[in-house]
A and B are shown apart, each in its own frame.
Chain A
């Protein structure tokens, strides 16, 4: 029973981080219609900057702020100068560009920092309370609160602000994008800034637990990918529910079956969901035009 508790509650907490990491991808998808394979690398690069700040003796808040800011700047640069200009050649080209950028960042990190895992400070390791057999730390609480805040803000932004609505319009309708013209490209660049910042935020909760290497964030992000796809890119709520679902189910599979079955189970879940509800459990079906 204790093991089950640990699995479920542990999955819940990590699922929140999956959802948070997924938010970065959702923002980009809702504006531009594709997924970036570079988010993990943007996060890692931002974290390395944060690490430098940390090693200089800066307090955690400065480290966190530095990480998020780097993510925003890096995302903005990559989007503006590389990916958005290539969007005119199609979504496949844009995705390839994100793959290319990811490879370059990864290579750079390997050269500069090497592959040895580095320790990264967390928001706080002290136990706040216990859920059954699980100790919930300050960092865990902060991650849940941050996730709630981020989703609330994103939900509001996409639903109510003119920028947010414009971002959605630009993706939903190519005609709208054409009418908005230059503004559409500007919106897409902005979404890269936001997406980059969110990648940094997610990284702040990933690195302390999993260590920081050029690959560790990417490995984590795959679960986030799956969560977001399963939940539906159109839906923030979906990302949250699916993130928790993925977290809990992977823990259960690891505990009751075999830890080495986790990845393939995630794949099967992904495939099943995509088969039955291609736009995710909470996603909207787009209008089919002939």
Chain B
């Protein structure tokens, strides 16, 4: 029976090269059941690349990706999704001719696990009910980002990778995002990885952080500790990690 600390998804000594550029060097990350891990770092540090390697969009140059201990480096992105990896994209990838509800429902039909959240519940948890029957072009950007998360969630993923879910959101929308994710976590123990720039968001949602810089892990550990680390603070002096005032509870 998997317990609280089960490692669901891990990258082991991952290198990723594009031509002459080394995007990732020796990256190790563990995403554990019931834990929300933040993945932070300056732009170009390799965060999105790492997500793409974990989900199978890119095949790493060396190293391994493990799911529940099993090496899935050769498994296609499609198969990884079916095993229980869910993700959102930095820029919402939605079908413009399907309503918000339908966009979520098409994914729900692919669910593999019976404990997955239903479409209507997902609409409520992620604050999209008001826009359920509208088309994406008429819906606020913030709602589309929440819809993307709802869509990923209804497949019942074991691991959820969220690529900058707060990017482009205003103050109220960010609060809605935090509350939605907290509501979700109250009933599900999915391992969550959150790529984010917003320090307050990360503080509110993540119990652990992994910091990337230039493709290497600069630091990892409990959120508060990592954020106090002088090396980490130095890396972000003058960078665009903004503090925004998001009212939220302590990380769980």
Residues on A lying within 8 angstroms of B by beta carbon are: 290
Residues from chain B with a CB closer than 8 A to the CB of A290 are: 52, 57, 89
Which chain A residues border B89 with CB–CB below 8 Å? 290
**Could you tell me the distance in whole angstroms from the C-beta of A13 to the nearest C-beta in chain B?**
41
B contact residues vs A (CB 8 Å cutoff): 52, 57, 89
Give Cα A290–Cα B57 distance, bound, in whole angstroms.
8
3 nearest A-B pairs in the assembled complex, by CB-CB distance = A290-B57, A290-B52, A290-B89
3 pairs from A and B in contact (CB 8 Å cutoff) = A290-B52, A290-B57, A290-B89
Chain A residues within an 8 Å CB radius of B57: 290
- Chain A residue, CB-CB nearest to B18: A287
Main secondary structure of the interface of B (DSSP, over half): loop
C-alpha spacing A223/B28, complex, angstroms: 54
- Give complex CA distance A290, B163 in Å: 12
Total A-B pairs, Cβ < 8 A: 3
Nearest-neighbour CB distance to chain B for A79, whole angstroms, equals 29
Nearest Cβ on chain A to B84's Cβ, whole angstroms: 19
User: Nearest chain-B residue to A288 (Cβ)?
Assistant: B57
CB proximity of A182 to chain B, nearest CB, Å: 26
Shortest CB distance B150–A (Å): 20
In angstroms, Cα B134 to Cα A94, docked, is 29
Q: How far is the CB of A16 from chain B (nearest CB, A)?
A: 36
Closest to A290 in B: B57
Q: Considering only CB atoms, which chain A residue lies closest to B163 in the complex?
A: A290
Question: What residues on A are CB-neighbors of B52 within 8 Å?
Answer: 290
Question: How far apart sit A290 and B89, CA to CA, in the bound complex (Å)?
Answer: 8
**B93 to chain A: closest residue by CB:** A290
A290 vs B52: C-alpha distance when bound (angstroms): 8
Give Cα A18–Cα B89 distance, bound, in whole angstroms. 44
Interchain CA distance A23-B57 in the complex, whole Å: 36
A288 to B169, CA, bound (A): 27
Q: How far is the CB of B181 from chain A (nearest CB, A)?
A: 23
Nearest chain B CB to A189 CB, angstrom units: 30
Q: Which residue of A lies closest to B51 (CB)?
A: A290
| Cα A290 to Cα B93 with chains together (Å) | 10
Closest A-chain residue to B90, C-beta based? A290
Within the assembled complex, what's the spacing in Å between the Cα atoms of A290 and B161? 15
B106 → chain A closest CB, angstroms: 19
How far is A290 from B53 in the complex, measured between Cα atoms in Å? 12
Give Cα distance in the complex from A238 to B89, angstroms: 37
CB distance from B93 to the nearest CB of A (A): 9
The residue of chain A having its C-beta at the shortest distance from the C-beta of B87 within the complex is A290
Residue of chain A at shortest CB distance from B55 = A290
Q: Find the A residue at minimum CB distance from B58.
A: A290
Chain A nearest CB: distance from B213 CB in Å?
Answer: 23
Tell me the minimal C-beta distance from B170 to chain A in angstroms.
24
How far apart sit A290 and B55, CA to CA, in the bound complex (Å)? 11
| Min CB–CB distance A251 → chain B (angstroms) | 42
Distance in angstroms from B89 CB to nearest chain A CB is 7
Q: How far is the CB of B48 from chain A (nearest CB, A)?
A: 9
A173 to B17, CA, bound (A): 23
**When chains A and B are docked, how far (Å) is the Cα of A290 from the Cα of B54?**
14
**A290–B50 alpha-carbon span in the complex (Å):** 13
Complex Cα gap A290–B77 (Å): 12
